[in-house]
Amino acid sequence: MAVATPSEAPAAADAARPGRFRSWLAAVGILSPPVSWLVLFFLVPIGIVAAYSVGALSFFPGDQALSLGGWERFFRGSIYLSLFWKSVRISLTVSVVSVLLAYPIAFFLALGAKKRKYVLLLVIIAPFLTSYLLRVLAFKVILGDEGLINTFFYSLHMRSPGHPIPWLLYSQFTVMLVLAYVWVPFVALPIFVALENLDQSLLEGASDLGASRWQTFWRVTFPLSVPGVMAAFVFVFIPTIGEFVTPLLVGGTRGFMYGNAIADLFGPGFDWQTGSVLALFLLAVTAALALVFGRFLQIRSVAAE
């Protein structure tokens, strides 16, 4: 076995340095564009919003003064904090309903459709490739005072013209209905992936041991699909908390949500300090939820393995 002499070791180290330097330059060249994009369009805007939230920046010239008054007003039982919890309740309801509706769809596609499952999956998703706004506005036609549902009740003389169902449009119910409609096909995807990756031998083994279909589902299929269910839940819950387009179009005053308050404060309200406080609070909550759910999903994956 050859042993490098003391004079050969420094020479070998010098020869390796250009290779390591080129690797470092290549890594910097590859990572610089995405990191620069992240810093410029994510971290810098967050820093600007944080500066507005403590008064370091102001929409009106000459009003700059460091203050935590916006945060104090927010946490002292302001209407915005109540509105946040209202949005959490709506988001939680939409998430649960979406998962409950999407699970049977994903179950059928993964374990029942067999060869046609990908075709059916494409059929389910295809209508949702159209404009989001068009689909939301279509609900105004369906649920409106002269829409399909109210007109149907008028024709049956169950409602008199001019007296439509009051909660059918511009209400929390409408917001939750439209959001569930929008999210169900996409929520089905992570559940479908979890069910498709199930080891079929486990299902066959449960059947050979005398388990019924319901017992197999509750003791084998569903527990193994929980990571997909949790991923689907997070997929809906986190973005729905800050939703503002759907409540703006079909929610009315009763369907007003936390995201609408932020949009109004930065828009017609011209109160950028309060709007920044609300936006940073929402960002902190969603980041914490993402970390918690991400940790839970990792633990579930390790336990499953």
What H or E segment, with its residue span, contains residue 5?
A: none
pTM to 2 decimal places: 0.82
- Let me know if residue 116 belongs to a domain: yes
* pLDDT at site 257: 93
- Let me know if residue 23 belongs to a domain: no
- Let me know if residue 57 belongs to a domain: no
* pLDDT at site 18: 65
- Let me know if residue 5 belongs to a domain: no
- Let me know if residue 151 belongs to a domain: yes
Q: Which residues 6+ apart lie within 8 Å of 91 measured at CB?
A: 236, 237, 240, 241, 243
How far apart, in whole angstroms, are the C-alpha atoms of residue 160 and residue 155? 9
Structurally, how many domains does the chain consist of?
1
- Let me know if residue 115 belongs to a domain: yes
**The CATH number of the domain where 289 resides is what?**
1.10.3720.10
Asked if residues 104 and 120 have their Cβ atoms less than 8 Å apart, the reply is no
Mind listing the pLDDT tens digit of every residue in the chain (305 residues)? 455 555 555 555 555 566 676 777 777 778 888 888 988 888 999 999 999 888 887 766 656 677 788 888 888 877 999 999 999 999 999 999 999 999 999 988 888 777 788 888 888 888 778 888 888 888 888 888 888 888 888 888 888 887 888 888 888 999 999 999 989 988 888 898 888 888 778 877 877 777 788 888 888 888 888 888 988 998 899 989 989 999 999 988 888 999 999 999 998 888 888 999 999 999 999 999 888 887 766 655 544 54
How far apart, in whole angstroms, are the C-alpha atoms of residue 62 and residue 268? 20
Task: Please measure the distance between the N-terminal and C-terminal CA atoms of the chain and give it in whole angstroms.
Answer: 44
155: containing domain: 77-304
